[in-house]
Amino acid sequence: MVTKEKFDTVFHGDIIGKEIIFLESTTSTNDVAMKTGRKRENPEGIVVIADSQTHGKGRLGREWVSPPGVNLYFTVLLRPPFPPGEASILTLTAAVAVVSAIRNYTGVNAGIKWPNDILVNGKKAGGILLEMKAAKNRINLLAAGIGLNVNMPLYELPEDITSLSTSLKMETGESVDRVRLFGKILAEIENTYKILLNGNKRALINEWIRLNSTLTKKVTVKSPDKIISGLAENINDNGELIIRLPDGKTETVNAGDVTIVKG
Residues that bind ligand BTN (CB under 6 A): 28-30, 53, 56-59, 62, 64, 73-75, 117, 127-129, 145-147
Nearer to ligand BTN by Cβ, of 74 and 193: the residue is 74
Indicate the residue among 131 and 207 with the shorter CB distance to ligand BTN: 131
User: What is the smallest separation between the CB atom of 245 and ligand BTN, expressed in angstroms?
Assistant: 26
Distances (CA, A) of 63 to 29, 38, 42, 200: 13, 24, 28, 34
* Least spacing, CB of residue 41 vs ligand BTN, in Å: 23
Instruction: Give the closest residue to 94 by CA, choosing from 228, 210, 185, 3.
Output: 185
Q: Which is nearer to ligand BTN, 125 or 243 (CB)?
A: 125
Our CB check for ligand BTN shows the closer of 111 and 147 to be 147
Cβ-count burial 75-109 (b if 16+ within 10 Å, e if not): bbbbbbebebebbbbbbbbbbbbbbbbbeebbebe
Nearest 5°: phi and psi at 165?
A: -115, 160
Smallest separation, CB 251 to ligand BTN (Å)? 23
- State the minimum distance, in angstroms, from the CB of residue 201 to ligand BTN: 23
Q: How far is the CB of 72 from ligand BTN (least distance, A)?
A: 8
Nearer to ligand BTN, 53 or 192 (CB): 53
Residue nearest to ligand BTN (CB): 127
- φ/ψ of residue 37, rounded to 5: -70, -20
Cβ proximity to ligand BTN, 164 vs 245, nearer residue? 164
* Smallest separation, CB 76 to ligand BTN (Å): 10
DSSP 28-52: -HHHHHHHHHHSTTSPTT-EEEEEE
Question: Is there a contact between 8 and 33 (Cβ–Cβ < 8 Å)?
Answer: no
